[in-house]
Structure 1
Amino acid sequence: MDSSDLTWSKSSRSTAEGACVEVAELSGGGRAVRDSKNPTGPMLRFTAREWDVFLDGAKNGAFV
């Protein structure tokens, strides 16, 4: 998949030092995630279900 075909969004909490990720919606409700400092580098791809589980975990403190 060519990441230039995706519409990327950066977190509103991104820092001036560039410590953030960008997320793009994939067909079927999945998401792609990449490092904003390396937009042509690798990206992670999640199905819609994987993304929902990740967000639920983040909201409930699973990654603290």
Structure 2
Amino acid sequence: MSCLLHIGSPALGEASVSRQAARSFREGRERKVGHRDLGAAPVPHLSAAGITARVTPRFNGE
């Protein structure tokens, strides 16, 4: 099964020609499409907890 992931971050918002073109392409797909608009919902900055999480030992519940 194939799918499409569209990540957009247009500076011009709805006036962006690239956003309009991408929307047209997404709407023409028959398969699943994932969409993330970084202009409308930016990813938060990485916190100290997020930075150190990769080197923190896994808790195994024992």
TM superposition score category, shorter chain reference: under 0.3
* Greater relative CO (CA pairs within 8 A, separation 6+): 2
Relative to the length of structure 1, the TM-score reads 0.23
| Structure with greater proportional helix content | 2
Relative to the length of structure 2, the TM-score reads 0.24
Question: Which protein shows a greater Rg?
Answer: 2
